[in-house]
Structure 1
Amino acid sequence: MVKGMKAKKCVICNARKGKRFCVKENEFICSRCCGLIRDPQLCPNDCLFLSSLAEKKEVGELPLYKVLMTTPKGSRSIVIAREKENGRLQFISVLVDEWKMGLKDCFGEQDISKKDFNRLIARQPHYVDADINKCKEIIKRGILVAETLGLKIPREFRELKHILGDLDKVEVTGSLYKCFECGKGDLPDEIVELIKEVTLHDVAAGVCGTEDETMIFFVCDKCRGEKEEVEKGVEVIEEEVE
């Protein structure tokens, strides 16, 4: 911007002041929108802001400080933190609804002290240490579910996803939704379609996360068979007792 010139609104969001000249848009845009649309494949090599993008992508290679996940099934909160050279952290926290909506929410910090980070984590008693690859798989599937349903990926996720590391190499196979019991077994196509239908209905009704949300629970053939075996065993024991 030329000194003394009043900044106009960003041509993309039309909300914040446009202080960065975008060669691709041929207009001034805000720093947030710049971060969202900036892409080495599309932006000119002489773009002044591509270097900062490269720096962000390198964050995914920083040493892991913590990889955490909540234990309750269905709705998983995943936290991945990496330690910077100065000892401070960057972290991303992702909420994934495994049973219905997929990737649902996200927040994080680009720069936070270990003390403040640990204090933040202590507020959630259900976090346990987790495997980074397992977390990436859950997040990748969450993205696929949300995109399949046509749900919006949180803006914060786009800004912080570099902290996760490379997701391109993470393979998501099998049915869109997995068994609600074991989290691994595939579900039949008709069940997957039913889950999608129920989810979109609840989203449209605005009842997700409320008492009015439709409660569903589907299991794979293996888990169903194991449950039936247990029930038969209980019946036999009850008969012997009688």
Structure 2
Amino acid sequence: MSRCVYCNQRKGKRSCPALTGLICSQCCGEHRLTRITCPPDCDYLDTGSDYQQKRLGEQFAPVRRELYRQLSVAGGEKAAALFNLIEVVTFGYFHDRRDGQDAEVFAAIQALRRTLSPLHVPSAPMPVFAERLKKEYDTFVKQQPQQITDAGSAPEILDRALALLTEFSGQDFQSRRFLNGMIGYVKTFHPEIAEHLTKQHEAGRIVLPGQLTPPPEPPHVHGPECHHHHH
């Protein structure tokens, strides 16, 4: 039989243009775009990433629910609103980018945490997504300061978020597990929000959690009274 050109163990079933040979579906799914430089016109990219996002979205749902529970206990609705903002900005920025990596999201959350610290001394320029997240946070605080956690409480909230997200992402520096899980979660369980955020991103507008869902839906996709995240 033709062995997979990547693992050389399982049977190769798919033609891989990047590796010019047959690859097994498991290696294709796990390593595409991270360890394998796939050409953008590969037939397996779209179908594979949609399936993978849905599967990881279902795995991410209980992790996300636990995170919101912890955040609500630590800082109530305002703490949950801060992570909601991170999710919204992350989805808008990465939902159509195949080259995004979890490390970019973590670096942005860490950068935001540093800028909110009283001891912060600005150093090197921030990465692009970190700049975007900081800008969106500043805008939200300016427009709706009573709805989101303040700079004093934010570092602890961001630490909790980072711990859970790192655990979900795994040890691989080039992982996309969190991004695929979060994007897959929104697309699978909240397709109307996914569509709304995609349109907003295309229009280049600032996205705020208060604008997440059109009335009569509640303004946030979280909170003890809301059943959105109990899937």
Q: Which has the higher strand share?
A: 1
Query: Same fold by TM (over 0.5)?
Result: no
Q: Which has the higher helix share?
A: 2
With the length of structure 2 as denominator, give the TM-score of the two structures. Answer: 0.29
With the length of structure 1 as denominator, give the TM-score of the two structures. Answer: 0.28
Larger RCO (CA under 8 A, 6+ residues apart): 2
